[in-house]
Amino acid sequence: MSVARTVAKATAEIIDGKEVAAQLRAEVGESVRSLQRQHSVTPGLAVVLVGDDPASQVYVRNKGQQAREAGMNSFIHRLAADASQEQLLALIAGLNADPSVNGILVQLPLPRHIDEEAVLQLLDPRKDVDGFHPINVGALVTGQDCLVPCTPMGCVALLKRQLGVLRGLRALVIGRSNIVGKPVAHLLLREDCTVTIAHSRTRNLEEECRRADIVVAAVGRAKMVKGNWIKPGATVIDVGINRVAGADGKSQLVGDVDFEAPSRSRAPSPRCPAAWVP
Ligand code: NAP
């Protein structure tokens, strides 16, 4: 996720997502130590990976490592790409019942032969740390306490650290997926923003961008949003991760926002390292 705050007629300020992530991890580590001190409890995170998708393997490894660094127990369960849906459901049922497991993450996407919805619905909503279970989705929409998907939570945490109170700001969320766009929009609504959700059928996206104080781009199209669409002083969160061929022929990662396109306020760099990864 890369983030830039445009500053009127000057260069943009890039928010250091890595620094914020390190602070958050330190806070989580402190909470874990306090649970251990006060209640002799060590939280356990189970991560389930089906198949051998290279990107998913990296994400799962990182989740395990970060859980251990925070002092939690980490349990990684790997199933073969041709594992049956029944095998996966049985594994989830076991993790639901296991008192040493407090959180369960099922790495998506799952292989095509597995019904993703059936798997997510079987998760104990209290252990559904990705916040994808319909009970958590419903609670988010109705403004109740719930587990929230991590990338949207990261977007709003970064915005609050950067801007403080978000009340009354005009926010544009580009993308309406269940894992990023919709939860970001609901979290911003909770912060009393005036929220617009744009998608592939939105007319005149450029005009929508120009009116926004906050733009969250979660599309998955390389450099689709141009820097000169952004209002001076607005804050942009670029959630997109797109692999494209670089000038040297090697592949590189770029976001959804072209910060280097001619703009009223140029950004010095298109990306900063991802602060929260799926
Ligand atoms: P997704 O499910 O493919 O959703 C993309 C959304 O973009 C859809 O709602 C789609 O609209 C909209 N869209 C497509 N073309 C558009 C256009 N021309 N104008 C406006 N909207 C358009 O993707 P996703 O899972 O939300 O992920 C979005 C991006 O974020 C991807 O690059 C993904 O890799 C990245 N991501 C990053 C993180 C992170 O932690 N950094 C986490 C998750 C995802 P329709 O609904 O009308 O089709």
Ligand 1 site-directed mutation target among 20, 178, 196, 200, most atoms within 8 Å of CB = 200
- The radius of gyration of the chain's CA atoms, rounded to the nearest angstrom, is 20
- Pair of tokens at residue 67: 């859980």
pLDDT at residue 276 is higher than 50: no
pLDDT in tens, 116-140: 999 999 999 999 999 999 999 999 9
Q: What is the percentage of the chain residues whose pLDDT exceeds 70?
A: 89
Contact 266, 11 (CB under 8 A): yes
**From ligand 1's centre to the CA of 86, what distance in Å?**
30
Contact 123, 94 (CB under 8 A): no
What would the mean pLDDT of 201-230 be, rounded to a whole number? 97
pLDDT given at position 106: 97
Contact 70, 32 (CB under 8 A): yes
**From ligand 1's centre to the CA of 171, what distance in Å?**
17
Please choose, from the candidates 20, 41, 60, 6, the residue with its C-alpha nearest in 3D space to the C-alpha of residue 263.
6
pLDDT at residue 80 is higher than 70: yes
Which atom belonging to ligand 1 lies closest to the Cα atom of 241?
Answer: 32
pLDDT in tens, 145-159: 999 999 999 999 999
Contact 205, 172 (CB under 8 A): no
Q: Which residues pair with 103 in a beta bridge?
A: 45
Alpha helices in 98-197 (DSSP H): 116-122, 134-141, 150-163, 181-190
Measured CA angle at 36 (ends 35, 37), to 5 deg: 95
Average predicted confidence (pLDDT) for the chain? 90
107 flagged as catalytic: yes
pLDDT at residue 68 is higher than 90: yes
pLDDT band at 5 (very low <50, low <70, confident <90, very high): low
pLDDT in tens, 165-177: 999 999 999 999 9
pLDDT at residue 271 is higher than 70: no
The number of beta carbons lying within 10 Å of the beta carbon of residue 79 is: 17
pLDDT given at position 55: 87
pLDDT in tens, 15-30: 888 888 889 899 999 9
pTM, rounded to two decimals: 0.89
pLDDT band at 260 (very low <50, low <70, confident <90, very high): confident
Domains of the chain: 40-129 (3.40.50.10860), 148-258 (3.40.50.720)
Three-state SS for 47-115 is EEEECCCHHHHHHHHHHHHHHHHCCCEEEEEEECCCCCHHHHHHHHHHHHHCCCCCEEEECCCCCCCCC
In this structure, the residue with its CA closest to atom 41 of ligand 1 is 1
Cis peptide before 278 (omega within 30 of 0): no
pLDDT in tens, 89-101: 999 999 999 999 9
Q: Identify the top-confidence range among 48-62, 168-182, 252-266.
A: 168-182
pLDDT at residue 266 is higher than 60: no
Helix (H, G, I), strand (E, B) or coil at 246: coil
160 flagged as catalytic: no
**From ligand 1's centre to the CA of 34, what distance in Å?**
38
Helix (H, G, I), strand (E, B) or coil at 214: strand
Which atom belonging to ligand 1 lies closest to the Cα atom of 180?
Answer: 26
pLDDT at residue 268 is higher than 90: no
Q: What is the percentage of the chain residues whose pLDDT exceeds 90?
A: 81
Contact 259, 240 (CB under 8 A): no
Tell me if 175 CB under 6 Å of ligand 1: yes
